[in-house]
Amino acid sequence: MRPGEELPGEGGACVGFSQLELLKLSAAERIDEAAERLGALSRAIWSEPELAYEEHQAHGVLTRFFQQEPPAASWTVQPHYQLATAFRAEWEAPGVRAAPGAAGRPLHLGFLCEYDALPGIGHACGHNLIAEVGAAAALGVKGALESLPGPPPPVKVIVLGTPAEEDGGGKIDLIEAGAFKNLDVVFMAHPSQENAAYLPDVAEHDMTVKYYGKASHAAAYPWEGVNALDAAVLAYNNLSVLRQQMKPTWRVHDQAMVLLVEIKGGAHDYYNVLPNKSLWKAYMENGKKLGIEFISEDAMLNGPSGSTDFGNVTFVVPGIHPYFYIGSKALNHTEQYTEAAGAQEAQFYTLRTAKALAMTALDVIFKPKLLETIREDFKLQLQEEEFLNSVE
């Protein structure tokens, strides 16, 4: 069976289920079977938060998870993949080989894990749950393909551990190192206060501005001094006034450092996330079957958003980055969200999201028209982005 070939009996019945729906049930069952181990993985990451590029403990937890996943040695794990705290785990059905040549190579599906924390407040963005979702969805797809009565299709399931999302842009480092080369579709999901198949995460350019003052006698020679605080306050006030004229898609996050003026650009720019409507509609269809209640499409396209280095990934390969409710209305990047991300209640919602991602991946494998439209959407979005950049 080839990727993109529909399953025999698709549309036929087995207690009302098609063969593909039965495969999706197998994926969900596989995730449920691993629920205890997945929860332990998440708790281990949550309990020892680590900053960008320093996620050594989380990296060890994740690589051991795949190295020890039964049956033994079923995953090929590269522990320090391009970066010290990145990893790559691959699974391909034994004995399955694609025909030689690019057209016959296995379909490469990528599942991304994040696991860095925030300074001072730990996993207030729930990256422990992102790691769990990525791992769980990959296990689900693997389990479903292993349940096929005949040889599974030539599909390679790849899990990428991507450090430093909060600060530094680990995915951008990995893109530049070629980690996303030959991936066909990538999947991940992010905790939030609601369920959204897509949010228009905005591009981000970091810049550090330092204000340096000059000391003088405040009573005798005040004109000889340079007040760095005044300069910083003026900059802050001007930015605040400018916000009234900013478009809804613009954001300014300011941090003044009161110390001549030094301006330094950030290491990486984060791009906006390109939407892939075919992909997120397939995700919504699967999610609804699992009881996920999504916000409306209008709310998705016009809702609040942040920035993520996954945006850069969507300029290289088609991908999906849905948001999921975890049982709390607390806001991300708060102490309350840290608590919610470590709560047992979050597990149900996290694994349900992983099931929806795994089911969507199975659609990509076995629905040739879907894979074709995902690739078409990707090309159109890149063309539109190039046009917009040319007129700005």
CATH assignment at residue 328: 3.40.630.10
Instruction: Based on the fold, state whether residues 274 and 342 are members of the same structural domain.
Output: yes
- 99 and 236 fall within a common domain: no
| Distance in angstroms (rounded) separating the CA atoms of residues 286 and 195 | 13
Q: Is residue 213 in a domain?
A: yes
Q: Which two tokens stand for residue 137?
A: 């969805």
**Residues 139, 190 share a domain:** yes
Confirm whether 6 is domain-assigned. no
Residue 361 lies in a domain: yes
177 lies in the same domain as 236: no
| 295 part of a folded domain | yes
- d(C-alpha 367, C-alpha 390), whole Å: 35
Claim to verify: residue 105 and residue 189 sit in the same structural domain: yes
Establish if 5 belongs to a structural domain: no
The answer as to whether 3 is a domain residue is: no
Residue whose C-alpha is closest to residue 122's, from 308, 333, 310: 333
**Largest interatomic CA distance in the chain:** 93
Domain encompassing residue 43: 19-202+270-391
Pair 191, 56 in one domain:
yes
Residues 85 and 156 in one domain: yes
pLDDT tens-digit profile, the chain (392 residues) = 555 555 544 433 333 469 999 999 999 999 999 999 999 999 999 999 999 999 999 999 999 999 999 887 799 999 999 999 999 999 998 766 554 434 568 999 999 999 999 999 999 999 999 999 999 999 999 999 999 998 889 999 999 999 999 999 999 999 999 999 999 999 999 999 999 999 875 555 556 677 777 776 465 567 767 777 777 777 777 767 776 666 555 555 544 333 344 444 446 788 989 999 999 999 999 999 999 999 998 888 776 668 899 999 999 999 999 999 999 999 999 999 999 999 999 999 999 999 999 999 999 999 999 999 999 999 999 998 885 666 55
Residue 178 lies in a domain: yes
- Of 217, 233, 265, the domain-final residue: 265
Residue at a domain's end among 228, 249, 265: 265
Q: Are residues 49 and 134 in the same domain?
A: yes
- The last residue of one of the domains, among 245, 265, 285, is 265
Half-sphere exposure at residue 150, Cβ-oriented, CA atoms within 13 angstroms: 7
- 351 is a domain residue: yes
Pair 192, 220 in one domain = no
The predicted model scores a pTM of 0.83
Together in a domain, 239 and 309: no
Number of domains making up the chain: 2
Residues 125 and 219 in one domain: no
CB 317 within 8 A of CB 291: no
Query: What's the rounded Cα separation, in Å, for the pair 179 and 293?
Result: 34
What is the distance between the alpha carbons of residues 14 and 333, in angstroms, rounded to a whole number? Answer: 46
Mark whether 277 and 350 lie in a shared domain.
yes
Of 392, 168, 196, 220, whose CA–CA distance to 305 is shortest?
A: 196
Contact 261, 212 (CB under 8 A): yes
